[in-house]
Amino acid sequence: MSWIVRKIDMLTGAVLASAAGMALSQTRAFITQYLQRLGGHLDEARLSLDRALGLVDPGDAGARMVIEGLRLQGQARLAELESAYRAIATADVWTQPLVFLRHADWSIAEATARAFEPALPLSTESLVFTLSGVVLALVIYEILKAPFALAGRGARRRRKVSSHPTA
């Protein structure tokens, strides 16, 4: 491998590792902001359910059916949001990202990402996430470039053998 190719390879690995480290360093901040937004959705769901139940006179049979339908839908959504909030908020710091991926409401996560404010990660957990991102990116990069390196080695070997004919 020529000198310039090795330097480009090293630079690519460093850039990918830095980007992954910075991204994973924000994991805790993103989940915290997601939980704040999810909590707001929970409060709004409770309020909407209470308001919907108070709107229609339950003396009317048609109105009772509408109220019952709204109540069931509202309670199902409320239970879904409460379950997700409880699961993510009570997970320990190391499993929380996986629990988040499993229980996230992706429309809320997308809104969180649009309004996301990066944080300065100073906690031990954030530093571990940062280092994990660096290591993970380097491992993935090395795995992805391995087939190309092996192919290049094989081509060099064939050229070397063909330039030294046997007697």
Say yes or no: 111 and 35 in one domain: yes
Say yes or no: 130 and 152 in one domain: yes
Per the structure, how many domains does the chain have?
2
Which residues have CB under 8 Å from 37's CB, separation 6+? 108, 111, 112, 115
Give the pLDDT confidence of 85-135 residue by residue, as tens digits. Answer: 999 999 998 899 999 999 999 999 999 999 999 998 888 888 899 999 999
Say yes or no: 67 and 88 in one domain: yes
Say yes or no: 22 and 35 in one domain: no
Average pLDDT of the segment spanning 35-41: 96
pLDDT value at residue 57: 64
Torsion of CA 25, 30, 33, 37, to 10 degrees: -170
pLDDT value at residue 165: 60
Final residue before a domain boundary, out of 102, 117, 132? 117
Say yes or no: 58 and 88 in one domain: yes
d(CA 112, CA 135): 27
Note whether 132 and 22 are within 8 A (CB): no
Six-digit token pair at 131? 């280092």
Say yes or no: 45 and 92 in one domain: yes
Q: Tell me the residue range of the domain where 49 lies.
A: 27-117
Say yes or no: 112 and 48 in one domain: yes
H or E element, residue 160: helix 124-163
Say yes or no: 42 and 113 in one domain: yes
| pLDDT higher than 60, residue 1 | no
Note whether 23 and 119 are within 8 A (CB): no
Note whether 140 and 32 are within 8 A (CB): no
> Which range (10-19, 57-66, 75-84, 101-110) has the least confidence?
57-66
Give the pLDDT confidence of 39-61 residue by residue, as tens digits. Answer: 999 999 888 888 877 766 667 77
pLDDT value at residue 95: 94
pLDDT value at residue 132: 92
Say yes or no: 16 and 34 in one domain: no
Say yes or no: 75 and 85 in one domain: yes
Six-digit token pair at 94? 């190391």
| Total-model pTM | 0.72
Q: How many Cβ atoms sit within 10 Å of the Cβ of residue 49?
A: 17
Say yes or no: 40 and 99 in one domain: yes
Q: What is the DSSP string of 21-63?
A: HHHHHTHHHHHHHHHHHHHHHHHHHHHHHHHHHHHS-TTSHHH
Say yes or no: 138 and 166 in one domain: yes
d(CA 50, CA 70): 10
pLDDT value at residue 162: 67
Final residue before a domain boundary, out of 76, 98, 117? 117
Q: What are the C-alpha distances in Å from 58 to residues 51, 76, 116?
A: 14, 21, 43
The pLDDT-based confidence of 70 (bands split at 50, 70, 90) is: confident
